[in-house]
Amino acid sequence: MKTNFSICRPLIFFMFVLTNVSINALPYQNKKTVANFSLDENDTTRYRGHYLYEIAYQTIADMLEGKRNIDLKEANFAIENAYYMGMLNRTTYMQEINRIAKGLEAQAKSPMISAPTIDMALNYCIYLFYSQPQVLNDYNIYQYDVASVLADGGISGGMVATLLETGKGTCRSLPYLYLILAHEIGAEAYIATAPMHYYIRTKDNNGVWWNFETTTHSFSRTEFIRDNFYVSDAGIKSGLYMKNLNDKEYLSLLLYDLLYFYELKTGFFANAFTKKCYFHMEKHRRIMPCL
């Protein structure tokens, strides 16, 4: 009999949540109890990594409110470090991004690169870094992390830290790193969303927008994205899909990631932390994609 996965998936997720609540609340409940939903979700001592999520939230909130300069690599690192319980090496992460950024800037000034504008030259160099073996990427182009998708639904491969280490990523980490690098070197680029997908948009010297698929190193026509990802007219009109996200909208997208990781790790869905994440998401972007 053929299984209807659309029915099974909510059940599987619900079972996962039960397991998580049981793990995180072990000191507070009877061992025979699978889950105790009467426990106070605001008792954040039930999850020992909660403070890392608070740090990540405050980092992004301060950027959204103009209390600190927007720094996409810092914001993304804070989120991924929270997911990995503070085990990421910040120095290694920052040094690798800085190394790549400096290499791209030098490459864009090389006589080997010919482009009508410096912005196109910079974006072209990022494209080459992704798609062409060269010294800067140690002659290894970025690849799609199929193993991660099969192993954990793409969570590990969706981390920029993993991408920097392995050269493999997903449609989260690959466009996220592109945007981080673009910000570092002053290139104009934006992330846009489609159902279950992120991609990069850049503009040429004639004002034409190009859709760069970081997962395949290819450029997609807008009609192709609409048809293959089933994007409705209403989804586009509302600003939910296929829109260039500005810096604050992208930061609110990172808050979405933070909230997703938090709920996945803790099984907490309605405490004060989740509510303030939702508040900033709604304040800076009216609709968030359900990815």
Rounded distance between C-alpha atoms, residue 43 and residue 271, angstroms: 9
Residue with tokens 């590990």: 156
pLDDT computed for residue 290 by the predictor:
40
Render pLDDT for 115-137 as a digit per residue (tens, 0 to 9): 999 999 999 999 999 999 999 99
The distance of Cα 166 from the centroid of its chain, to the nearest Å, equals 17
Pair 250, 76: CB distance under 8 Å: no
pLDDT computed for residue 10 by the predictor:
36
Residue type, 126: I
The residue ranges of the chain whose pLDDT is under 70 are: 1-39, 285-291
pLDDT computed for residue 191 by the predictor:
97
Q: At what angle do helices 50-64 and 72-83 cross, to 10 degrees?
A: 160
Rounded distance between C-alpha atoms, residue 273 and residue 19, angstroms: 21
pLDDT computed for residue 78 by the predictor:
98
Closest by CA position to 97, among listed 69, 120, 76, 66? 76
pLDDT computed for residue 285 by the predictor:
65
pLDDT computed for residue 200 by the predictor:
98
Rounded distance between C-alpha atoms, residue 59 and residue 183, angstroms: 17
pLDDT computed for residue 37 by the predictor:
56
pLDDT computed for residue 240 by the predictor:
85
